[in-house]
Amino acid sequence: MTNPLPRVVAALAAIVVLNDSAYIIAEWEQAVVTQFGRPVGSPVVDAGLHFKLPFIQRVRRFEKRILNWDGYPNQIPTKDKKYIMVDTTARWRVVDPLLFLQTVQNEAGARMRLDGILDAATRDTISSHNLVEAVRNSNKILDDLKAAAKAGRDAAPGGEDEVVGEIDAVGVGRESLSGMIIERGKAGLKEFGIELIDVQLRHISYETSVEAKVYERMISERQRIAQKIRSVGLGERSKIQGKISKDLQKIESEAYREAQNIQGQADAKAIRIYAQAMNADPSFYEFVRTLEAYKKGIPSGTKLILSTDNRFLDLMRKR
């Protein structure tokens, strides 16, 4: 209780020493302890409180979580000589912090390696395949078309039969291209203590100078489709007009046939009836009918010249 100074100094020293020997590793961290630059022991991967020798040992922390790599959009020619911009992203993780520390030091160093390796892998993969392989993942379109053709649907007018040009079959597909890039990348990155989780083709687009040409092609394609649709419409109209003519003639002629048939049968029946009745005395019928015909056949305003020979005038003559 004389002088508190030594105690205070001792306490402060203890605090400083403790502060430098204890360290906390969070769940998302891992660390390598180095002693004058030389790694000591195995990497610390468990979260929690850890101890080291103060002052002479240093803790180097690394991420345990998934990290992102964002590729610079690259202009790459495909196998079929189409220039496209390919934008890739990747996910990676430090799996061997010691190796990571030794080979690339830190994330910035890792990024440089990733740039080199993944850009090359992407370039190699894209340029050894046709454009469709990078755009489409499956032959769904072709399958759909086939199914539609089987169902006979594309014969229907106004259907969604809007495919122009031929759809090339896909042999590899987008996902498999990603897979190839991953395989190539993985091999190269292993020696840096990096695990490549995946590579995604985030964006594939036509190169700006090609874009205008592509748009022109799209326009002409659409115009072709529009023309086809229009003429299908005109064709349909002609079909219907033809049907009108056909149906009309059918209806009219059938009616005519039936009418004639009915009338003919009636006439025949009438003839039979007349014949049956008249056969009883044909000469009398002829006589009566002739008289009737005279009456009807000679109208009233007629000027008539009779010969005296006329039977009607018999009595006149005989006098």
Partner 1 sequence: MPQPWESPKDDISDLLKSLSAKLGTGPELGGRLLTAAGGLVVLLGFATSLYTVEPSEEAVVLRLGRYVSTQTPGLHFRLPFGVERVVKVKTKVILQEEFGFRSSGKDGDRTSYSGDDFKSESLTLTGDLNVANVEWIVQYQISDPKKYLFNAREVLKNLRDISQSVLRRVVGDRIVSQVLTTGRVEIAEEAQRLMQEVLDRYDIGVRIVTVKLQDVNPPESVRPAFNEVNAAKQEQEKAINQAEREYNTVIPEAVGKAEQTVRNAQGYATAAVNRAEGDAARFRETLKAYQAAPTVTRSRLYLEAMEELYGRVETLTIVDKGVSGVLPVFAPGKDAAAAASGDQR
Cα torsion at 291, 294, 300, 303 (round to 10°)?
-120
CB of 57 within 8 A of CB of 34?
yes
Q: Which of 153, 169, 244, 286 binds partner 1 (CB under 8 A)?
A: 244
Quick check: 6 binds partner 1 (CB under 8 A)? no
Tell whether residue 300 is a contact of partner 1 (CB under 8 A).
yes
> How far is the first Cα of the chain from the last one, in angstroms, to the nearest whole number?
199
Calculate the CA 233 to chain-centre distance.
24
Q: How far is CA 170 from CA 28, 79, 135, in A?
A: 41, 14, 9
**Options 38, 72, 294, 319; binder of partner 1; rule CB under 8 A:** 294
Q: How many residues does the chain have?
A: 319
Site residues for partner 1, 249-278, by CB under 8 A, read 251-252, 254-256, 258-263, 265-267, 269-271, 273-274, 276-278
- How distant, in Å, are the alpha carbons of 13, 121, 274, 275 from that of 268? 141, 98, 10, 10
Q: Which residue has the tokens 């394609």?
A: 221
Q: Which of 13, 17, 141, 149 binds partner 1 (CB under 8 A)?
A: 141
Q: Is 163 in the site for partner 1 (CB under 8 A)?
A: yes
Determine the interface stretch with partner 1 among 52-60, 120-128, 183-191, 308-316 (rule: CB under 8 A): 308-316
Touching partner 1, residues 204-243 (CB under 8 A): 204-206, 211, 214-215, 218-223, 225-227, 229-230, 232-234, 236-241, 243
What does the block give as tokens for 255?
């009616």
Among 89, 111, 120, 207, binds partner 1 (CB under 8 A): 89
Give the shortest CB-86-to-partner 1 separation in angstroms.
11
Asked if 75 touches partner 1 (CB under 8 A), the answer is no
Q: Binders of partner 1: how many residues, by CB under 8 A?
A: 132
Task: Pick between residue 55 and residue 228 the one whose CB is nearest to partner 1.
Answer: 228
CA pseudo-torsion sign 277, 283, 284, 288: positive
| CA-CA-CA-CA torsion sign (33, 39, 41, 44) | positive
Structure tokens at 72: 């610079």
Per-residue mark of binding to partner 1, 43-72 (x: CB under 8 A): ---xxxx-----------x-xxxxxx-x--
